[in-house]
Amino acid sequence: MTSNRRRAFLYAGVGAAAGVAGAGLAIWKWGEKGSGQVDPALWASTFDTPGGGELSLRALRGRPLLVNFWATWCPPCVEEMPAIDAFFRQNSARSWQVVGLAIDQPSKVREFLKKTPVSYPVGLAGLGGTELSKALGNETGGLPFTLVIGAGGEVLQRRMGRLSQADFSHLAQLA
């Protein structure tokens, strides 16, 4: 492959990454209220867990729920995980539930969680998790994507991108 051709592929890759990032910013929906009830596909979903069990989202109905779609190869996903874990530990007594859905290879997730454990449940969503996140409002399929669901099953918030401390303070007041 010639140097010019490599350069063209590099520019195309950088351009595509910039386009995805721009689309992600364009659908930034954190301040926007949700639109009615969450897609029933969420409640019907079950996932294997890294420890070998099963996570049924149907069991999480009836209490506020933060669903975070993430991957081990996604730097903003990894950066926000300690804050999500802290939010869960601080707010679980106030009925908050948190679940992480890993859009990644199970072996990579298990390896990652051995080094960086979290207290909240994690489901192995694989590539099917991308389609589920799209059904829930993640138009581009980008990561991280967070969905906040109220106790009555209503979508309260959607967020493309890394959560900040201010976001967690806001969430703590929603339930």
DSSP assignments along 32-54, one per residue: S---SBPPHHHHT-EEE-TTS-E
Q: The tokens of 155 are what?
A: 């979508």
pLDDT for 35: 64
Instruction: Quick: pLDDT tens for 58-81.
Output: 999 999 999 999 999 999 999 999
Please name the amino acid found at residue 135.
A
pLDDT for 171: 92
CA–CA separation, 25 vs 44, rounded Å? 30
Instruction: Point out the residues of the chain with pLDDT beneath 50.
Output: 8-32
pLDDT for 19: 38
- For helices 75-91 and 165-172, what crossing angle results, to 10°? 30
pLDDT for 3: 59
pLDDT for 6: 54
pLDDT for 22: 39
Asked whether the beta carbons of 106 and 48 are under 8 A apart, the reply is: yes
pLDDT for 2: 60
CA-nearest of 175, 160, 158, 170 to 36 is 158
Residue 28 phi/psi, 5-degree rounding, is: -55, 115
pLDDT for 12: 43
pTM: 0.81
Q: Which domains, from first to last, does the chain contain?
A: 3-172 (3.40.30.10)
